[in-house]
A and B are shown apart, each in its own frame.
Chain A
């Protein structure tokens, strides 16, 4: 097929090349500046006092002792703040009231709704004094304790304590999908019913750089907030809403960020930080959140419980399906129901079925707040869907891969709401490539034979689809500015932020390609500053590469036209006869090089006849979207008496369209796979059932998987050109995490015969399951072989 994509993909010297990322050198030698590196040494340090009850009313806080400590500047409590509720999630703002995010947060609250809620802040000359202040304050809080609830099913009971008056039954939202007629369809004769409950835990992002921000006054009544955020323009809006002031009074600066994974797609402590600076006459105030508090007081991934029923015909096709899910929101709404809804909406598309009845509830509990996290509901959903698909295959006696190939979204499938379409035979292509890489079919058949002994092996495969970006649910827009320098090089500015994923580098590759410059001439300004950077909503939803592509192409095209128009003045050749190739103005008709872009740029700026600053700026309002697909293959070895799973081999194959930078794309896949391995095997945030206190909110007790827990991670691609996209590409940021846990679950099931319906498959859970299955004798400690 000949693709007229209007850009030089095939012969491109920049697109599709594993070019070294723009920030590699600075990051490798430690020169890249993060929030803390930019903070003035004289900044005041803040520590926050967290509630020690999971639900209650703060009756009083005696600040006297804390304020006596040398170095403590001021103590602010919930009683010092106005009760102006504000929303925090990093969604594009909606101008329609009904679509606006729930405003339920205060800077500091007198009604803590989870163990650890923010009730006061100590501002001190240094961090030691701030910590001393917190210790002095801890026992000075008088609470009226209220009953609390930690589990979603307890929370929806009639007599459960109610977290928010406007949400009876603690239900933040409930949405449904009804296709066909489920109740009638299940009456078909000869159907096989497969039913399962699938539980996924609350986990945390664990980006290396904890959240941090600092704020100071500037000019008349303006405030600057430097923050480790994915969404500077959104944070500016939220600060304005939280402080009930004009949004333009605030300037948010985003330097390099050490990972966000969605946690920083929320306004976290920026509003409080600015407010504290304001109370102190604009002095620079810093909130550096310790790791222990990052686990509790930022955001977490929604734990979720799924109840799935499939009615199967003997030939393996689906007659009817039922879906119920309850997502654990924690104490405040943040991104709210968007997460549970995303998984619900994905289910009837992944395995289409004429008769589908689905319900999803998002439920408040007295726990840390769940928000966005890489995959936005889909690691949860993918686990449940794929575990259930494997259960269906087992019930039918079918090869699970064959069952999936039979029932997955067919080529040509169009989603009515988003107009997304599956253009290529992507699922099968990903399966075929992964099978080839890892030897799935051969190993599956080998491990299917009865195994004995303490150590057994298995292999599994799981897939997913992911709807990238947020159109048509919310606004999709991207703005870009390009400025040409005296030597013909350019700066690119975008609202899409660099958070480690490589957005800056791919933007420069795209611009270089469209204008006709070499990569080294194109520099993306990594730091966003809401006073300087064109408006953009930041990065989330795997949208960066897809959406910024539109504004980069539009802006680069405009800039190129301006350059060629100016070239006419210097070369006397009509612009339509000209092109730019490798930094030269060429005449297309004979390929002759007429002049260098450097000479043109210098002349344009310094000409005494006609001086022009060559710049371009455009906004791309995006009204399309794309499906992203892939699969994970995992081979494991299970040491039954030791209750341990070792991942021997693992490979992810993705179709993210045209790959702009294979090295960065592969790295993105590796990161997602690592996160998926932790999700599958070891990560879970635990809470004391008696108090609601988090138990393992540190990197020792929270078992983030380490480098030593991975085999070599293999990431590969099937590149089906995405026809809706400016550069044929689509999202890859979140997808790699989605299929990993169900693939590992399937592999463990094949090895042991234990189809376990919850993650993580940690040793304590495996111990219980292996004892139940008779694989371990309770007292004997040996495999029953």
Chain B
């Protein structure tokens, strides 16, 4: 039994935008794996809900006319993991969302919900940052697309205006072509866990697989919102694959990140982990790309 004031079931994306405009205090609900938990805790108790869960047009994964990978915001984690396009072009995303919660949560939880929550620990978020995803937002005035780093405003707040919902996440071709990634989630147990810190690295290698053409790295829980590590990327890009460069890359993430000190994890512990994970994730990504590390 949940403490909700009303539930409006949207019949289309346009209907959802209209409902949200008509009920400015309402909370969007998709799979409900976050919203219902918060309601039970009393945080969103007594609210109106606008459900978008029945909008099948927001589900599924495809390659659009611009060769972007298009992931409908209502696509569940388990469907992302099982999808062939994902497995072929951005396997790391399927692996990352397969570490969320347990099987039940992955079957109901959506990637849209994971990102719209605005939390730094979302398992999809660091990978989407590292792959420079584009967020598609639909409102009563139409559609706009923004880079994911601009979508996150601050902890718990994303760039959704009144009457807007997130309808898709896009990965541009230039971002995924010849690109291989690896995600490490650091939690205290192997399931049913929220990342203590998460690290996603992807690489594009030179043709001879000896040089790192492009490396992108992003973290969850290394700051209030998911973040890239620009100075580490700058350090490594264009460099040869060797131990010294890999370790140098890993250490330079400390110039970029700013993890919290809390009872869930001390700052020095998280910093140490960030360095270890950067090195390991980079090595794994290089291996996946056919290089040796």
State the CA gap A701–B192 with chains docked (Å): 10
Stretch at the interface among B138-146, B162-170, B220-228, B273-281: B273-281
Q: Quick one: which of A126, A688, A782 contacts B1, CB cutoff 8 A?
A: A126
B205 at the A interface (CB under 8 A): no
A764–B276 CB distance below 8 A: no
Q: Quick one: which of A135, A641, A700 contacts B276, CB cutoff 8 A?
A: A641
In chain A between 752 and 778, which residues have their CB closer than 8 angstroms to a CB of chain B? 762-764, 767, 776, 778
Residue numbers in A under 8 Å from B268 (CB-CB): 767, 778
Residue numbers in B under 8 Å from A785 (CB-CB): none
B192–A699 CB distance below 8 A: yes
Known interface pairs A642-B276, A778-B268; A703-B263 also in contact (CB < 8 Å): no
* A387 → chain B closest CB, angstroms: 22
B190–A709 CB distance below 8 A: yes
Residue numbers in A under 8 Å from B254 (CB-CB): 779
Residue numbers in A under 8 Å from B135 (CB-CB): none
A709–B1 CB distance below 8 A: no
Q: Which chain A residue shows the least CB distance to B250?
A: A781
Q: Quick one: which of A127, A706, A764, A779 contacts B269, CB cutoff 8 A?
A: A764
A705–B264 CB distance below 8 A: no
A700–B192 CB distance below 8 A: yes
B192–A131 CB distance below 8 A: no
Interface size on B, residues (CB 8 A): 30
Q: Which chain B residue shows the least CB distance to A764?
A: B269
Residue numbers in B under 8 Å from A594 (CB-CB): none
A703–B276 CB distance below 8 A: no
State the CA gap A726–B92 with chains docked (Å): 60
State the CA gap A50–B220 with chains docked (Å): 35
B279–A781 CB distance below 8 A: yes
A695 at the B interface (CB under 8 A): yes
In chain A between 631 and 648, which residues have their CB closer than 8 angstroms to a CB of chain B? 641-643
Q: Which chain B residue shows the least CB distance to A766?
A: B269
Residue numbers in B under 8 Å from A781 (CB-CB): 250-251, 272-273, 275-276, 279
What 0/1 readout, one digit per residue, does chain B (224-249) give for beta carbons within 8 Å of chain A?
Answer: 00000000000000000000000100
A682–B188 CB distance below 8 A: yes
Known interface pairs A642-B276, A780-B275, A782-B247; A682-B189 also in contact (CB < 8 Å): yes
Residue numbers in B under 8 Å from A779 (CB-CB): 251, 254
A135–B188 CB distance below 8 A: no
A706–B272 CB distance below 8 A: no
* A418 → chain B closest CB, angstroms: 39
State the CA gap A762–B265 with chains docked (Å): 11
Q: Quick one: which of A128, A135, A707 contacts B2, CB cutoff 8 A?
A: A128
A438 at the B interface (CB under 8 A): no
State the CA gap A543–B168 with chains docked (Å): 59
B293 at the A interface (CB under 8 A): no
In chain B between 1 and 53, which residues have their CB closer than 8 angstroms to a CB of chain A? 1-3, 42, 45-46
B158 at the A interface (CB under 8 A): no
State the CA gap A779–B191 with chains docked (Å): 29
Interface size on A, residues (CB 8 A): 33
B108 at the A interface (CB under 8 A): no
Residue numbers in B under 8 Å from A3 (CB-CB): none
Residue numbers in A under 8 Å from B1 (CB-CB): 126-128
A615 at the B interface (CB under 8 A): no
Known interface pairs A128-B1, A706-B190; A780-B251 also in contact (CB < 8 Å): yes
A132 at the B interface (CB under 8 A): yes
State the CA gap A781–B257 with chains docked (Å): 15
Q: Quick one: which of A135, A686, A700, A782 contacts B263, CB cutoff 8 A?
A: A686
* B235 → chain A closest CB, angstroms: 16
* A210 → chain B closest CB, angstroms: 14
Residue numbers in A under 8 Å from B160 (CB-CB): none
Chain B CB within 10 A, most for which of A132, A642, A643, A781: A781
Residue numbers in A under 8 Å from B272 (CB-CB): 641, 767, 776, 778, 781
B247–A135 CB distance below 8 A: no
What 0/1 readout, one digit per residue, does chain B (180-204) give for beta carbons within 8 Å of chain A?
Answer: 0000001011111110100000000
State the CA gap A127–B254 with chains docked (Å): 48
B266 at the A interface (CB under 8 A): yes
Residue numbers in B under 8 Å from A762 (CB-CB): 188
A135–B45 CB distance below 8 A: yes
State the CA gap A126–B3 with chains docked (Å): 10
- Chain B facing A: main interface SS: loop
A28 at the B interface (CB under 8 A): no
B188–A131 CB distance below 8 A: no
State the CA gap A352–B272 with chains docked (Å): 45
Known interface pairs A682-B188, A701-B264, A762-B188; A131-B42 also in contact (CB < 8 Å): yes
A532 at the B interface (CB under 8 A): no
B189–A706 CB distance below 8 A: yes
A132–B45 CB distance below 8 A: yes
A132–B3 CB distance below 8 A: yes
In chain A between 680 and 729, which residues have their CB closer than 8 angstroms to a CB of chain B? 682, 686, 688, 695-696, 699-701, 703, 705-709
A782–B276 CB distance below 8 A: yes
State the CA gap A708–B103 with chains docked (Å): 12
Chain B CB within 10 A, most for which of A688, A695, A767: A767
* B244 → chain A closest CB, angstroms: 13
State the CA gap A37–B125 with chains docked (Å): 41
* B46 → chain A closest CB, angstroms: 8
Residue numbers in A under 8 Å from B275 (CB-CB): 780-781
A709–B266 CB distance below 8 A: no
Q: Which chain B residue shows the least CB distance to A689?
A: B263
State the CA gap A642–B190 with chains docked (Å): 13
What 0/1 readout, one digit per residue, does chain A (293-306) give for beta carbons within 8 Å of chain B?
Answer: 00000000000000
Chain A CB within 10 A, most for which of B1, B190, B265, B276: B276
Residue numbers in A under 8 Å from B263 (CB-CB): 686, 688, 695-696
Chain A CB within 10 A, most for which of B250, B272, B275: B272
State the CA gap A695–B190 with chains docked (Å): 21
* B213 → chain A closest CB, angstroms: 25
* A772 → chain B closest CB, angstroms: 13
B42–A703 CB distance below 8 A: no
Residue numbers in B under 8 Å from A778 (CB-CB): 268, 272
Q: Which chain B residue shows the least CB distance to A686?
A: B263
B269–A763 CB distance below 8 A: yes
Residue numbers in B under 8 Å from A131 (CB-CB): 3, 42, 45
Known interface pairs A642-B276, A703-B189; A764-B3 also in contact (CB < 8 Å): no
State the CA gap A706–B263 with chains docked (Å): 21
State the CA gap A643–B46 with chains docked (Å): 43
Q: Which chain B residue shows the least CB distance to A781?
A: B275
Known interface pairs A128-B2, A767-B269; A707-B191 also in contact (CB < 8 Å): yes
Q: Quick one: which of B3, B190, B250, B264 contacts A708, CB cutoff 8 A?
A: B190
B265–A708 CB distance below 8 A: no
Residue numbers in A under 8 Å from B250 (CB-CB): 781
Residue numbers in B under 8 Å from A642 (CB-CB): 186, 273, 276
Residue numbers in B under 8 Å from A132 (CB-CB): 3, 45-46
Chain A CB within 10 A, most for which of B3, B186, B194: B3
Q: Which chain B residue shows the least CB distance to A699?
A: B192
Residue numbers in A under 8 Å from B193 (CB-CB): 700
Residue numbers in A under 8 Å from B189 (CB-CB): 682, 703, 705-706, 708-709
Residue numbers in B under 8 Å from A767 (CB-CB): 266, 268-269, 272
Given contacts A763-B186, A763-B188, 19 further A-B contacts (CB under 8 A): A128-B3, A131-B3, A132-B45, A135-B42, A135-B45, A642-B276, A686-B263, A699-B192, A701-B264, A703-B189, A706-B191, A709-B191, A762-B188, A763-B269, A764-B265, A764-B266, A779-B251, A780-B251, A780-B275
**Interface set of B (CB-CB < 8 Å, partner A):** 1-3, 42, 45-46, 186, 188-194, 196, 247, 250-251, 254, 263-266, 268-269, 272-273, 275-276, 279
9 contacts between A and B (CB under 8 A): A127-B1, A131-B42, A641-B276, A642-B276, A707-B191, A709-B191, A767-B268, A780-B275, A782-B276
Nearest 6 pairs between A and B by C-beta? A781-B275, A708-B190, A708-B191, A641-B276, A706-B191, A128-B3
**Interface set of A (CB-CB < 8 Å, partner B):** 126-128, 131-132, 135, 641-643, 682, 686, 688, 695-696, 699-701, 703, 705-709, 762-764, 767, 776, 778-782
